[in-house]
Structure 1
Amino acid sequence: MIFGRVKPLDAILATAEKKSLHRSLGAFQLTMLGIGAVIGTGIFVLTAEAAQKAGPGMMLSFVIAGFVCAVAALCYAEMAAMVPVSGSAYTYSYAVMGELIAWMVGWALILEYAVAAGAVSVGWSGYVVGLIEHTFHMDIPNFLTRGPYDGGVVNLPAMLIAALVTWLLVIGTKESATVNAVLVAIKVAALTLFIILSVPVMNMDGFSPFAPLGFAGISAAAASIFFAYVGFDAVSTAAEETKNPQRNMPIGLIGSLAICTIFYMLVAAGVIGTVGAQPVTAGNIPIAQGGIALAPGSTELSAQCAALAKAGTEAVTCSKEALAWTLREIGWPQIGNLLGLAAGLALPSVILMMMFGQTRIFFVMSRDGLLPDFFSKVHPVYKTPHVITILTGIFVALFAAFFPVGILADISNSGTLFAFAAVSIAVIVLRRTDPTRKRPFRTPAIMVTAPIAIIGCMYLFWSLGSDTKLMFVAWATVGLIVYFAYSRNRSHVGRGIVDVAEDDAAVPPQPVPPLPGAPTPGGKDA
């Protein structure tokens, strides 16, 4: 049953074979593409989360997460080069491991995209609210800018940006490649300026103790920080357009991830060495003296942070705009405001791409009969899949309104890790079942690389919080119920309806075209 109902790979590839893409990308271009796709939201909004989980040890967390991404990317690249069509990990799984696994991967990708869009919306809110408060010297009430877990009632700015992006996607407003390139440059420039201003004034005392919560804390932070790396599959899906992909793909993938890891470690070092990054504890008792670190995203942590703020001893782990807050603390308030402005300008495009990716996955699943046809309805005027876009927007706005960024990022990571593990398994399976098929890129040392990728994804998944894992299990259970109650009986493959070719003409006009340095429908700029 699990490996039955495999969608014929030849049918999936029929369209791709009609397309002849010019091979023009070298190792340097791939590396730059990867850096543009990876550096983004995660480092802006999850630094405080990582510090609360690992303290200064979060520097090692970046290395662990980057390594798992690298081996997963090499597996992803082989599948992306073989099956260069829409649907990403869902399509790959359908072609190799059958409908049930494909359904579960697609169901997990809903977590990846929709919840991640909510996480970025919350991150955007933190930076924009901080920018407004410090620029205009005003205090916006927390109950309007934070969810219940963060000591507020509802995060209205996060809801508003999610609603705005939904509206833009419905009307089909296009974002040019030039604008996207400028936004990527703004993010990279902001982080570079942060490093230039913070690293030279580091105090090594901030690095001790390095791992206050032990290796378990470092692992937990790595599982959260994974959010800061995802987007590397933008490189993986460029295999068709790469000169000598067998040589250049590994260079581009590993090179971009290595550079991003160094970048992230320097940012983390700047935070740790200037304002410190020790976890906030109950009663503010040091961990060395028996203090208990409070869980990120908990009401207890929010209450303790409020107490610290009243005492005038705020911690970076309490900040909703960690990097801007750090610059203000070390004497660069205006530069901190500029960094907040950079985040405010750049992050909405990330939300837009994530929500677009979500609607694309829904559309492909609906086209396969696994979801109702109305999910793929196209607006008569705007020519966009408005029904599923609005539905996605409602859920993203609700996630953003009531949950903190760390919890949302972890839930998103659970779906992403599941999907990447499935792709890594699919590569091994397809090597055995279809060894003669043309592979523009072959994963090096597949019997070593793929198992490491699978184990790495499982390790990071296991390092997530117990609440996150339970939520993923609950989500997967709901997915199985929906599959057996509805999708299995309506599946086109199950009913013997298999197209000879999946023509992209069947897909509604994309409201956002593929952008250089932006995530493809298989990934996100995190």
Structure 2
Amino acid sequence: MASTAPRGGIFGRVKPLDAILATAEKKGLHRSLGAVQLTLFGVGCIIGTGIFVLTSVGAQKAGPGLMLSFIIAGAVCIVAALCYAEIASMAPVAGSAYTYSYAVQGEFLAWTVGWALLLEYAVGASAVSVGWSNYFTDTVMARSWGIDVPAFLKAGPEALGGQVGGLINLPAAVIALLVTWLLMIGTTESARVNAVLVAIKIIALTVFVFLTVPAIDSANLDPYTPGGMFGGFGSGVGVVGAAATMFFAYVGFDAVSTAAEETKNPQRNVPIGLIGSLLLCTVFYILVSWGAVGSIGGQPVMGADGAPLGTGTPELARMCATAQYQDALVCSREPLAHVLHTLGYGSIGNMIGYAAFLALPSVILILLFGQTRIFFVMARDGLLPERLAEVHPKWKTPHICTLITGLVVAIGAAFFPVGQLADIANAGTLYAFMMVAIAVWQLRKKDPNRPRPFKVPGIWFVAPATILGCLFLFFNLPKEAMLVLPIWGAIGIVFYYLYSYKASHLGRGIVEVPETEVHAIDPSSPGYNEDRTN
């Protein structure tokens, strides 16, 4: 299918929504997923490093007020999910926020969203890789097998905020490269395997709640907010600063919208999958954080200025190495297992650690797989070199973009601590979520008569709440994480004007006919190189 691109500059380059829907119907994926499968898929994407690892990071920022942090972050995600639900039910196609922006806001803003999503997926996968490494080295190797991995091999250098004596997080880099290799040779996660891994994570968290909640001592919750509600602009501490970090614990629900093309009755099931998975995870997160900080205490390590020390800093690493704090929750690299060991449930604590050890690689796989989709869709539109989506003749996978992504993920995992990686990933995610809310609001005004199988109630409140909520959390990230997004965005804008602006298919008067996504993105397949000119 082809059409002449709209004139009027980069903001006039809007890919028609009807064309996107038509091509999805013509060359879409097989629709086989129901509401329960989508909800499980969402839970599988959401529950990961955020709760298994970042609980200690959040406690260092907020103290026992971590529960409030989860509520604040969850509230922003729920209103964002409502916006996702409306636009995903209108346009049940792959590409997520990037595709929505292209259809509503035009090519330039869509490019910035896609560029931010590349940051989200890659850095997010690095964070999960570090989380997996923590459980591998501390629970599996040290507690179970009695093997102490040298400090210089299980954390990045101190100058980058890693553990004292650290040089490189070798296990994190290895698991990232291993998952990359599996994706390159064509291994994908089946719905059945995902369901088993989701069950493992839910059972593990349920057991944790049942063992810790009865052991809660109110004395451990006082003071409730030692770092205050607001730690100050750019500090990244306090209850709200922790909420900006714990937002990472919810990232993944948007992956449900990327499966819209594969969903039966997406108008009904996509909203159920989005909101159902979020609500289920929010309940778990509140109970788990309550049990963790209430049972053994979650008071942060304070600095000389009376404020919590920054996570991932050399100062905190040095304090955690002292006898006074080495057993504190906020200093633990595998906090849930650590809590149970402290309470005397050593064997069950090891089982929790093994649950994280087994389940976290699937989250890495999902994030890497999601990035290959974004890579592919942007290359398909001509905004990135099409060679990036080139398919290996034997493996039938986009091996080039997968390899590039995997190397970047491995480097990030090898040298940066999990808290810093989560904050950087959140910066890109918050921008993408904000743009989706704006797109939904714009569509209500631009195209009010278009059928909306799921219509957000009170859009006048939900869309602005999402926008303001995303901005609120963004400006409560540490200043280093806030700076990453504009710097990364500036690099992307330079690339856009040097390459994408001229190479864009839409800019050259072409509306791209999509192939069948990453499952079969073979440029040699019939119809891929069909004549798409006017």
Q: Normalising by the residue count of structure 2, what TM-score does the alignment of the two structures yield?
A: 0.88
Cα drift, residue 234 of structure 1: 4.4
Query: CA shift at 1:415, angstroms?
Result: 0.6
Correspondence 1:82-481 to 2 at 5 A: 82-131=90-139, 132-148=141-157, 149-150=161-162, 151=164, 152-216=166-230, 217-236=238-257, 241=263, 245=267, 253-282=274-303, 291-308=306-323, 311=324, 313-481=326-494
SS of the residue aligned with 1:77? helix
Amino acid across the alignment from 1:185 = A
- 3-state SS, counterpart of residue 277 of structure 1: coil
State the secondary structure of the residue aligned to 2:93: coil
Q: Does 1:50 align with 2:58?
A: yes
Structure 2 residues not aligned, in runs of 5+: 1-8, 231-237, 523-534
Q: CA 1:23–1:447 in structure 2 vs 1: closer, same or farther (change >3 Å)?
A: farther
Matched residue, 2:4: none
String of CA shifts for 1:276-321, please: whole Å, max 9, x gaps.
11111237xxxxxx6342101111111111124xx57521111110
Quickly say closer, same or farther: Cα 1:63–1:487, change in 2 above 3 A. Answer: same
Q: How far apart, in 1, do the equivalents of 2:172 and 2:266 lie?
A: 44
TM superposition shift of 1:269: 1.1
Q: Measured at CA, do residues 23 and 170 of structure 1 come closer, stay the same or move farther in structure 2, by a change above 3 Å?
A: closer
- Deviation of the 1:258 alpha carbon: 3.0
Matched residues in 2 for 1:194 and 1:490: separation? 53
Percent pairwise identity:
57
Return the offset for 1:15.
2.3
CA distance in 1, matches of 2:384, 2:29: 31
Structure 2: distance between partners of 1:237 and 1:495: 27
Task: Specify every segment of 5 or more residues in structure 1 that has no aligned partner in the other structure, as ranges.
Answer: 284-289, 511-526
Aligned partner of 1:69 in structure 2 is 77
Residue 19 of structure 2: aligned partner: 11
SS in 2 for 1:214: coil
Q: In the aligned structure 1, how far is the partner of 2:321 from the partner of 2:385? A: 47
TM (normalized to structure 1)? 0.90
Helix, strand or coil: the match of 2:465? helix
Cα offsets for 1:98-152 (capped at 9, x unmatched) = 1110000000001110000000000000001012101122322111000112221
Distance, in Å, in 1 between the alignment partners of 2:358 and 2:221 is 32
The answer to whether the Cα contact below 8 Å between 2:49 and 2:127 also exists between their aligned partners in 1 is no
Could you tell me how far 1:443 is from its partner in structure 2?
Answer: 1.6
SS at match of 1:281: coil
Corresponding residue of 2:516: 504
Assess, with a 3 A threshold, how the Cα gap between structure 1 residues 237 and 400 changes in structure 2: closer, same or farther.
Answer: closer
User: Could you say what secondary structure the match of 2:11 adopts?
Assistant: coil
Give the Cα separation in 2 of the matches to 1:120 and 1:243. Answer: 32
The structure that is helix-richer by fraction is 1
Amino acid at match of 2:13: R
Could you tell me how far apart the structure 2 residues matched to 1:407 and 1:206 are? 27
RMSD: 2.3
- CA deviations on 1:335-367 (whole Å, 9 max, x unpaired) are 111111111111111101101111110111111
Change in 2 beyond 3 A, CA 1:242/1:61: farther
- Amino acid in the other structure paired with 1:178: R
Deviates more, 1:58-67 or 1:78-87: 78-87
Q: For residues 108 and 328 of structure 1, what CA distance do their matches in structure 2 show?
A: 39
Question: Once the two structures are superposed, what CA deviation does each residue of 1:418-472 show, in whole Å capped at 9, x if it has no partner?
Answer: 0010011001111211222222222221121111111111111111111100111
Q: Are residues 505 and 477 of structure 1, via their aligned partners in 2, closer, same or farther at CA, if it must alter by over 3 Å?
A: closer
Cα deviation, residue 25, structure 1 = 4.5
Letter of the aligned partner of 1:297 in structure 2?
G
CA contact (8 A) 2:52 2:356 kept: yes
Any idea what SS the aligned residue of 1:494 has? Answer: coil
- Per-residue displacement from partner, 1:36-82 (whole Å, max 9, x unpaired)? 44333310011011001100111001111111111000101111122
DSSP 3-state at the match of 1:3:
helix
8 Å CA contact retained: 1:80, 1:236: yes
Counterpart-to-counterpart distance in 2, 1:392 and 1:22: 28
How many residues align structurally?
Answer: 499
The more displaced of 54-63 and 36-45 is: 36-45
Classify the secondary structure of the residue corresponding to 2:392: coil
CA drift of 1:239 comes to 6.7
Q: Tell me the equivalent position of 2:527.
A: none
Deviations 1:220-276 (A, max 9, x none): 111111111122234556778566957x76666444433322211111111111221
Deviation at 1:2, TM superposition (A): 5.3
Asked if structure 2 preserves the Cα contact closer than 8 Å seen for 1:81 and 1:238, the reply is no
Measure, in 2, the Cα distance between the counterparts of 1:127 and 1:487.
42
Q: Distance in 1 between matches of 2:361 and 2:266?
A: 35
> CA 1:252–1:372 in 2, change beyond 3 Å: closer, same or farther?
closer
Cα gap change, 1:408 to 1:505, in 2 (>3 Å): closer
Would you say the 8 A contact 1:117–1:396 is kept in 2? yes
Contact 1:93 1:426 in 2 (8 A): yes
Taking the aligned partners of 1:29 and 1:365, their CA distance within structure 2 comes to: 28
Instruction: Mark the CA change 1:438 to 1:17 in structure 2 (over 3 Å): closer, same or farther.
Output: farther
The secondary structure found in structure 2 opposite 1:282 is: coil
Aligned-pair distance for 1:417? 0.7
1:461-503 Cα deviation digits (max 9, x unpaired) = 111111100111111111111111111111111111223x434
* Shift in alpha-carbon separation, 1:154–1:52, aligned structure 2, 3 A: same
In structure 1, distance between residues paired with 2:497 and 2:240: 36
